[in-house]
Amino acid sequence: MKRAIFPGTFDPFTIGHYSIVLRGLSFFDEIVIGIGTNQAKKTLFSVDKRLEMIQQAFEHEPRVKVFAYNSLTVDFALSVDADFVLRGLRSVGDFEYERTVADANRTLTGIETVILFTESKYSYISSTVARDLISYGKDISKFLPPNVKL
């Protein structure tokens, strides 16, 4: 079985994240979405709320599992028997960071990173933009996966 993790803070989980997971399912038998704790990030939504939102998005897809973790991403990958890390790239700016992390992960554990480019129609959407819009009282439903309610 080919299992990948799709790690992130997902505050909130956007339609761009959703697209990466759906497209990733054509390569992997199972994708485990891991909500990581990043001490450097101030989150808007609790971990429980983020779990709920992502579970709503994939309620009809049994090949997607969702867990929270508080460890190195590669340790989380090992704990769920994943051989791959799935990541999405929106821009060239994301590339250098993702490459550095992928190289470190492969060196530490042998786990490979698979990168999918974000669909052009979602490339401007980020969790940061969504949080900013929420802070100004804007409706972000167009930026969220189907079935997801804030």
Question: Annotated catalytic sites, by residue?
Answer: 17, 41, 90, 127
Q: How far apart (Å, rounded) are the C-alpha atoms in residues 37 and 35? A: 7
